[in-house]
Structure 1
């Protein structure tokens, strides 16, 4: 078993690098929560390619957010990915009562986590190869997921 690795970050570049590393290290399940996904580069070509490979190999993606507007306006690649792999992806929007939540995280396979302590700031940490580090974020994600409703579904026309 690999030893846990912890990386702290406080810049957008470092946060994005750790997010990409979490995606690359994951093979079965990605669970992401962020108020609007402005910082996570879901629309980047390399992230799209990584997510497509992940989903083509049978991985599942679950994304929870407060407001889908940023994704709808700025991430057309991600919207195409949702259309192409809708059977393996689900996006949910939090109810108003949960919109006070301000943390942000990506959990990969229950063993890797990248989290920002507050969504208004880039300070955070990434921990790889540690189920213990993922325990609290996984419980938070499960509670958020349970209360949220489906959003960002492709329409019948594929839009």
Structure 2
């Protein structure tokens, strides 16, 4: 059980990878647009794919974004995973009334959490292997998810 404060973008980037390296079977993400998470890098795409193809019946990747444009336009690997692994992977565009929220969450198996306190700053807290410390953040994600939103599709419709 450990917890540490993150203060730079470099530390935040390492914390994201550290969380993914824990090989979770369920990952919940609430973020503005996923840009700071750099999920399109090869190691992160591989980690997300490994999560989705794991033998566990409880595997799941749920993502809620406040802005969908970045995901739709600049995340082809993630959109490909959505096409291949739906409904294990869901990406939801949050309703407009959640735009005022400034925090960002990444929760693995309700035991590991990376919470960024403000979407424009790297200041964050990484919690590893502590379900009781992660519980409030898991509850917050459940509340955000409960607000609804529009599910992103894996295909783009054109004329």
Q: What corresponds to 1:47 in structure 2? A: 44
Q: 1:75 to 1:156 in 2, by over 3 A?
A: closer
Deviates more, 1:8-17 or 1:95-104: 8-17
Q: Does 1:138 align with 2:104?
A: no
Q: Scaled by the length of structure 2, what TM-score is found?
A: 0.90
Aligned ranges 1:4-83 → 2 under 5 Å: 4-57=1-54, 58=56, 59-83=59-83
Q: What corresponds to 2:85 in structure 1? A: 85
SS in 1 for 2:136: helix
User: Mind listing any 5+ residue stretches in structure 2 that lack a counterpart?
Assistant: none
User: Mind listing any 5+ residue stretches in structure 1 that lack a counterpart?
Assistant: none
SS in 1 for 2:35: coil
Separation in structure 2 between the aligned mates of residue 153 and residue 48 of structure 1, nearest angstrom = 18
Separation in structure 1 between the aligned mates of residue 41 and residue 151 of structure 2, nearest angstrom = 21
Tell me how far 1:26 sits from its aligned partner: 3.7
Q: Does 1:147 align with 2:144?
A: no
Deviates more, 1:141-150 or 1:41-50: 141-150
TM superposition outliers: structure 1 runs of 4+ over 4 Å: none
SS in 2 for 1:63: strand
Separation in structure 2 between the aligned mates of residue 99 and residue 11 of structure 1, nearest angstrom = 24
Aligned length: 154
